[in-house]
A and B are shown apart, each in its own frame.
Chain A
Amino acid sequence: MVDPVTASRLQFALTTIVHIVFPVVSMGLAPFLVYFTWKDIRTGKPIYEQLRRFWTRIFAVSFVVGTVTGIVLEFEFGTNFAAFATTAGPLFGGPLAVEGMMAFMLEATFLGVFVYGRERVGDALYMVSAVAVGLGTWLSAVWILIANSWMQTPRGFEMVVENGHRVVHLTDPVAAYLNPRFFWMFVHMQNAAVESVALAICGLSAYFVFRHHVWDRPVEHAEFWETTLKIGLVALLITAPLQVIHGDMYARHVYETQPQKFAAMEAVWETDSYVPEYIVAVPTSVENLVDPRAKEIFGIGIPGGASWLASGGNPQATIRGLEEFEGPQPPVAIVFWAFRMMVALGFWFVLLAFWGGYRWYRGELLEDDLLHKALMASAPLGVFAVEVGWIVTEVGRQPWIIQGVMKTSAGVSPGLTGAEATATLVGFAGLYLGLLALYGYVVTRIVRAGPPDGADLRATDRTESSTGATADD
């Protein structure tokens, strides 16, 4: 049996890690769907209808799994982190309530129109529903990140003792809800979602283009996949460089406002100036891998690199070491490696974008088999980069649930027993992994079935399904 604190933390981590996949797909696909819908309505070309319908199927499945996994997260604040909910509720609950009313409602209701309503509503309302769904997914991120950014850089409140509990009282809504971290989080997350979907789109279409042009195998809808590849590549060319640029600014903001997390990201134990940026760093023993106080590190570093990044150009800048902070530390190895993976992937995506862009410019996009393989291999890496990015953000904040205000261990529900917490941890671990497998299976089937053919674009609508079926059997 696991103790309630550990079980609650593991459960929240697991449910978040699985859930985040689906909002990323929704947020990232949203601008593509708006574009396909607009082109479909404006040009009437079958290719755009194919694109819209194919990606809408994937969006719809992602949305359903995202909904069922996301409701659990909201309720876990009450079930597992009741002490946090009691303390932070007066400030933190508001954004969640508004997220439901403003964003999730917009998305869920107009998704009904968007998915089932092409034959029922006029072009204008259909276009409005596409935009509303997209806007809903993005607004959800706004409110969730307003809440999360406050946990990272809390301000605009005072602590009051009420009925024997320490409770957060909101004093300055602008400072609390529009705290500077929110901006960096939102820009970085939103762009990451579009970039991740662009990578998935590129990888998927590269597979079919590769089969068709390199292997010379018969591929249905070859033209569809070529167009898709180009659209994905355009999106990647826009998002990949931006991600690196604001990622750098975001890291600087972390250095200024969460020095403990920054020290963990860079694995700096002793306060120092002219700190190197480690490309690789290996603890000298296995114990040191998990011991946050370990100092001995073998590594390859760029002299002054971390200081240079932290300060925006000064290699002499001082970085406060982990030893300056009292009490428990974040698990440094996890944060350090997650951060490195995210950064490395970010640069890899830029390279991939430029490589693809260059080949396209040279008219060799469809023939470069190495590029196709690289794109295929990179298809899931955008989502992976988001996962490790969130691990840096959330694990790097530990031991704090609200940075500098409340420890995570103090936030767990006081009455929760180890047996209860372990039971739901095991149950939901199984359920969520099953959900991921199911999602992968269903998406694979949708891809196998491919886009609807020109001929059945209209026919299937009338005959096959009065049901919203994806009709691929």
Chain B
Amino acid sequence: MTSVDALSSGPLFGLPLPDLWFALLFFIFGTFLFLDGFDFGVGALFATREDEEIREQFLAAIGPFWDGNEVWLVVFGGVMFAAFPAVYANLFSRHYLLMFAILGGLILRGLAPEMYEQRHDERWQRWWGRSFVAGSVATPFLLGMFTANWLLGATALVTPAGLLAGLTVVALTVVDGVAFLRLKTRGDLRADLRADGHRALVAYLVLVVVTLAALYALAPDLRAAMRSPAVLGLVAATLLLAAGYAVATHRDRYYAAFVAAAGLVFALVAVIAVLLYPSVDPATGLTVEAAIVPTLSLNLMSIGAALLLPLVFAYFAVLYSAFSGPIEAGESY
């Protein structure tokens, strides 16, 4: 029992584990929003292309990846449950209908590409193509609504800030999706996508500014935090990253644009985390310190995460390197 006593007596190595888990939670959320974000963006762009060959390329681009990307959402849910169970319970039950709407969107988005490939007749593919678009647009929109409601401690299903945040996240996933598709395509399609990227970027910047302004106006409690150096720094970083994305896209620096898109996603998620902290759930007033699980559970999870997360990154490295570069013929099972 001595090892259990040691693990129960205090945080491992005296680390600020509650804050680290808060940071990890948002890091996982950001990773999900970046990785599955480009899948959503590809789904939204799917609506803008009628040509069957191009549509097949869009689906092939995300084929090997989307499942792994979506697991980050499962891990996000699991980590919130494991580290902040009271927040997980309060937040998810409070946004009951929104959560089920998100799940419905994810089901449509997840099924559609697999089903689309099962039959090659027009009606079937039109139906699943629409499902793919609907699921890919609705899910990030609803996630944006959920995040804004979380941040504001709102209990209503639909709030003005929620709607704005939803549109912002949709625009961000399109920026992300373009960056990804430009890695995976060639020729005219790749060139055409440049314009989509610029348009989506402008839309995102306008929406993110409007959303932040709306938050400033609607939530007096957040004003001081919004003027903090951390948030101002992240806004400045967003502008720099957007400029980097635009230049990289213009110059066909595909990987640089992709990295800039990742930066934009993580900057937005970081703004949310900074605005929340030290609270994890403004509606109930639960702070990180109050909501974190007891020491023994926390220490065990920390050991688990320290061992497993590097492995997870190794899996993703294998997957993304196996399928690096533009899509080629011969990727079937």
Contacts and interface: CB of A to CB of B under 8 A. Distances in A.
A93 interface: yes
A35 B145 CA distance: 46
Contacts of A471: 332
Contact of B4 (A60, A93, A116, A172): A172
Interface in B52-89: 56-57, 59-60, 63-65, 67-68, 70-71, 73-75, 77-79, 81-83, 85-86, 88-89
A464 interface: yes
B30 to A, nearest CB: 16
A38 B111 CA distance: 30
A89 B94 contact: no
**By DSSP majority rule, is chain A's interface helix, strand, loop, or mixed?**
helix
Interface stretch (B101-109, B188-196, B199-207, B238-246): B101-109
Contacts of A57: 333
Nearest to B85: A89
Interface stretch (B162-170, B227-235, B264-272, B289-297): B289-297
A85 B304 contact: no
A119 B97 contact: no
B93 A82 contact: yes
A105 B73 CA distance: 11
Contacts of B74: 70-71, 74, 100, 104
A79 B92 contact: yes
A120 B323 CA distance: 7
User: On chain B, which size bracket covers the interface?
Assistant: 35 or more
Contacts of A114: 333
Interface in B119-134: 119-121
B56 A467 contact: yes
A383 interface: no
Interface stretch (B174-182, B249-257, B312-320): B312-320
Contact of B60 (A93, A460, A468): A468
Given A108-B68, A469-B117, A469-B332, A97 B75 contact: yes
Contacts of A428: 100
Contacts of B293: 89-90, 93
Contacts of B75: 97, 100-101, 104-105
A68 B67 CA distance: 10
A83 B90 CA distance: 9
Given A85-B92, A118-B333, A465-B330, 7 more contacts: A75-B99, A85-B88, A91-B297, A97-B75, A113-B322, A467-B331, A473-B120
12 contacts: A79-B93, A92-B81, A93-B85, A98-B308, A101-B309, A109-B316, A112-B67, A115-B63, A116-B331, A120-B331, A469-B120, A470-B117
